Amino acid sequence: MFRNENAVNIQDPIPDDTEFDIIVVGSGNGACGFLSEIQKYKHNDNLKILVLEEGHNYFYTSDVTHQNGWSKTYASGDIFKLHNAVTPDGRSILAGRARTMGGGGSINYTMIHESSEWLTKQVGHDIGYWNTCKVELNGLFERPNPFEVGYQTPFAKYIIENNVNAGYAPPTEKHMTKNIPSLTESPFGDKNSKQVYIFPTQFNQFGQRTHSGVSLVEWNKVDLRWNRRVTELQMEKSTCTGVKVLNIDTGKEITYQVKKGTGKVILCGGSQSPRLLMNTEVLAKSNDKIGKRVNDHICMPLGIYLVDKKKISVVGPTDNYQSLFSTEIIPGSTNGVGDANVVNIDYFSGEGWKSIGDKIADIKITTSLVKFNATREGYYEMKDNKIILQFFDDEQDTITAEKAINDNIDLLESNGVKPPFLVRFLIQLVTKIPYKKGRQVKEFVKHFADKTLLSEQHLAGGCIFGDVIDKGLNDSASTGKVFGSDNIHVADLSAVPLPRVSTQMTAYLMGHHVAKQLYNTKKKN
């Protein structure tokens, strides 16, 4: 349903003297949020907009990037690009970024906003403003109500029931705005620190994707160029006059012109936005905060359990990634921005070992991921394009991980049954993944911190509001503007510290927010 032959099937040449009102670098979550908001207002119809995407065109890669899901897409090695990410002492971290229209949110589909209180603290404006932005943005996704009868699968209901039995507050529609939830600040309902959230998927009952970030934009109204890697922001003093790119298909370099006097460059390159600014000498010299305060979620895979034989028949394809997660505040812990740390648990069920299962028996598995913000924020380095992530550089990360796993290991086991002893032995021999509290958990956390560091591929920060870019509280026209520049703005996840929950909706929201402040003639602060 996404193919639009007239809009995107041919990359027509752009005359050298063409000047663009807006050049958007990237076409991921932030860009889709930004463009959809601009296109809402008739007075913007005459703006000449160029969108530059390093990766492939969505309309010709949808079978790979959008139907296969996260794991197959990641394994292809074509849509994801790994960072040179390490800890301060040189341990490698598996971390990367999506290179495709719609960004990571068009491959994953976790939909939850950070709290409006958090957004007010980090970006400015009042809680009412952010609530309104969520209404506007969420409505564009046209998602069904996940509380409708029959929406949650029988096995998802079983997991929710187990969560409630383990002390989690059940999901509630009070958390929803236009059918998409927001993290609610503690206390959660009638519980002190534990809450289950459900969210709508972007798929129909047959597993076909019907919406993503790409759905939000009228692509026929912009000039889209894909396989274009931005290599330089060309500056005349403090004004960006052109964007230099490498055509990955031909190996040729091209420079696209920014309209003199009024043109803007909007960085929506995610983790590449700070890198572009760091490589722009006039800006890097004037602001040493560029590329600082970056972070990602520590992502720890937990035990593999067998679905109970009584439940096997109710586990279907849509249970591969359950549209629910559990959150728990770890008392006494804080993340890089001083907030109490929130642990997230994702659930996956199905025929993960189908080839083995077909040979042995009708086996289905259920497993989980535990995720949380690293306590200490990291930073970019110029040398070797390194990103330093300070995972487990603070003892609090170990404390958080051990408590989160010990607190929830009984819950995770309640969703299935332990594999046979020999299978558990082999799993633990390689991964140290625990099946008992205490010593096994401690050994697993140490092994993970020393040898198997994994991020959630959700790098945030580097161009933080108030540090690197203007909050626009005194002049909305300056919202997202890079300090020291006249016309470069940032409108993606790099503009905020790492959210405490999955980041896709926050990235969309940053694009939406910057566009709303810059191009809505009826804007209110």
The answer on pLDDT for 211 being more than 80 is no
More reliable by pLDDT, 72 or 404: 404
pLDDT at 188 (0 to 100): 46
Buried b (16+ CB within 10 A) or exposed e, 202-236: bbeeeeebebbbbbbbebeebbbbbbbbbeebbbe
| Mean pLDDT across 365-377 | 95
Structure confidence by residue, pLDDT tens digits, 2-57: 444 334 445 778 888 899 999 999 999 999 999 999 999 988 889 999 999 998 77
Q: Supply angle C-alpha 286, 292, 296, rounded to 5.
A: 155
Structure confidence by residue, pLDDT tens digits, 67-85: 555 455 545 556 666 778 8
CATH superfamily of this structure's domain 20-142+211-292+459-519 = FAD/NAD(P)-binding domain (3.50.50.60)
The answer on pLDDT for 385 being more than 50 is yes
Asked, as a colleague might, if the bond just before 187 is cis with ω within 30 of 0, I would say: yes
Among residues of the chain, what percentage have pLDDT more than 90?
Answer: 66
Domain boundaries, the chain: 20-142+211-292+459-519, 147-208+297-373+394-452
d(C-alpha 468, C-alpha 481), whole Å: 8
Name the one residue in this structure whose structure tokens are 């082999």.
426
Structure confidence by residue, pLDDT tens digits, 119-149: 999 999 999 999 999 999 999 988 899 999 9
Q: Which two tokens stand for residue 13?
A: 């040449």
pLDDT at 4 (0 to 100): 42
Q: Count CA within 13 A, CB hemisphere, residue 144.
A: 14
Provide the CATH number for the domain formed by 147-208+297-373+394-452 in this structure: 3.30.410
The answer on pLDDT for 461 being more than 80 is yes
The strand order across the sheet containing 292-295 reads 84-86, 386-388, 378-380, 292-295, 460-461
Name the one residue in this structure whose structure tokens are 């209180």.
117
Per-residue pLDDT band at 187 (split at 50, 70, 90) = low
Contact between 69 and 62 under an 8 Å Cβ cutoff? The reply is no
Task: Report the range of poorest mean pLDDT among 34-38, 58-62, 208-212.
Answer: 58-62
pLDDT at 472 (0 to 100): 97
d(C-alpha 74, C-alpha 104), whole Å: 10
pLDDT at 361 (0 to 100): 56
pTM score, whole prediction: 0.92
The answer on pLDDT for 433 being more than 70 is yes
| Closest C-alpha to 36, from 214, 276, 203, 216 | 216
SS3 state of residue 11: coil
